[in-house]
Amino acid sequence: MLNADMSIAAVAYASTIGWQSSPSSSVSRKRFHLVGEAESGQVTSLVQYDPGASFPAHPHPGGEEILVLSGVFSDQTGDWPTGSYLLNPEGFTHAPYSKAGCRLLVKLRQYTGAKTIRLSLDSLEATESEGIDCRLLHSNTHEKTVVTKLEAGQAMGRTFEGGCEGFVLAGNVNVNGTVLRQHDWFRFPDGDSVRLLSHGCSVYLKFGAVSRLLSHP
């Protein structure tokens, strides 16, 4: 178990977490959140594929969410470069690999929808909410996933029904008084007030899903 109690806030600093092995010798990861068994639980991780890395074909019970942070990630559905967002539904099966290597944000067993999504961040139209650049990745009746860009000195703050989870894609941001840097992760439970003060940053944000996730206090 790691940051498994969804009723309390959690922060993970990527620079303080060592790379951990995976079932593939050429793929390593830094886990931020784990409920259940290491290879079959609900997990959020930073994942590194070395050049030539691959996994044999395997299913994804509970779905899979991937954001390509660098390099090119591939499977039978295509080649997905930096900025690609992939959402795979319950039972999706693939044999992923990376010819040149890549780094990913990966969330497993946290998506119960039936929709398959393939997006490029560069192709998404930016919308402004309270003067903040926001690009929608996915939305349904109980959660919303966006990438938000904040200029230095910009702030956003609110209380999120269902909680809030975030991952710093680039730059630095002060989150409720704590400075987070690239590839740091945070989560706040339902009802917590969350304030982001940017030092110039881009942040992946998911609203509403925290209260639905498995929890192990």
For 141-164, how does the pLDDT look when each residue is reduced to its tens digit (9 = 90+)? 889 999 999 999 999 999 988 999
Domain ranges of the chain: 10-119, 124-212
Least confident of 60-74, 149-163, 169-183, 203-217: 203-217
The model's confidence at residue 216, banded by pLDDT at 50, 70 and 90, is low
Do domains 10-119 and 124-212 share one topology? The answer is: yes
Whether the predicted model's global pTM rises above the 0.85 cut: yes
Domain 124-212, what fold? Jelly Rolls (2.60.120)
The model's confidence at residue 112, banded by pLDDT at 50, 70 and 90, is confident
Burial zone of 35 (CB within 10 Å; 0-12 exposed, 13-18 middle, 19+ buried): buried
Question: What integer is the mean pLDDT of 67-73?
Answer: 98
Of 38, 49, 53, 56, the C-alpha closest to 109 is 38
Of 185, 179, 188, the C-alpha closest to 207 is 188
For 137-146, how does the pLDDT look when each residue is reduced to its tens digit (9 = 90+)? 999 888 999 9
Retrieve residue 50's tokens.
């070395």
The model's confidence at residue 128, banded by pLDDT at 50, 70 and 90, is confident
CB atoms under 10 Å from CB of 176, counted, come to 16
- The CATH homologous superfamily for domain 10-119 is Jelly Rolls (2.60.120.10)
- Residue 44: helix, strand or coil by DSSP? strand
- Ramachandran angles phi, psi of 61, nearest 5°: -65, 135
